[in-house]
Amino acid sequence: MPLSEHEQRMLDQIERALYAEDPKFANTVRQTNPAVHYKRWIIKAGLGFVIGVVLLLAGLLIGNPVMQVLISVLGFIVMLACFLWGANAWRKAAGGGGEAATAAAEQPRQRRKGGGSRPGMMNRFEERWRRRQEGNE
């Protein structure tokens, strides 16, 4: 659960006070590995995924058609949510945040080295259409 803005400010104040009092200890505390936290999320997401599969299959065994659909859909939603949660935790544990995607988007595109730029798709369509109208194709 993410911290509220007030809680985050309080935590920052405590951290600054701790660093002022004992910088070596504060530095040691700050260097804890966040991947352990995300690994717990991945395990919980995996267990939730299994629970979703069990719900999905249990829904198929129920005799009442309405309950069959409701429990199966609930199982699928649990599976999907846990998969997304686990995938997000996996990405964060691997160190891949949104920074890499935004950095790649900000870089200018490089032209190919092999003899200039190719015409775009619309230009090729227009050229084909022009040749077809002239009867050369």
Residues 20, 6 share a domain = yes
What pLDDT, in 10s, does the model give residues 69-110?
999 999 999 999 999 999 998 888 877 665 555 555 566 666
H-type alpha helices, the chain: 5-21, 23-30, 35-61, 65-93, 99-106, 121-134
Residues 25, 38 share a domain = no
Query: Considering the entire predicted model, what is its pTM?
Result: 0.49
List the domain range (segments joined by +) for residue 20: 1-32
At 21, list the tokens.
């009092």
What pLDDT, in 10s, does the model give residues 105-122?
566 666 555 555 667 888
Residues 38, 28 share a domain = no
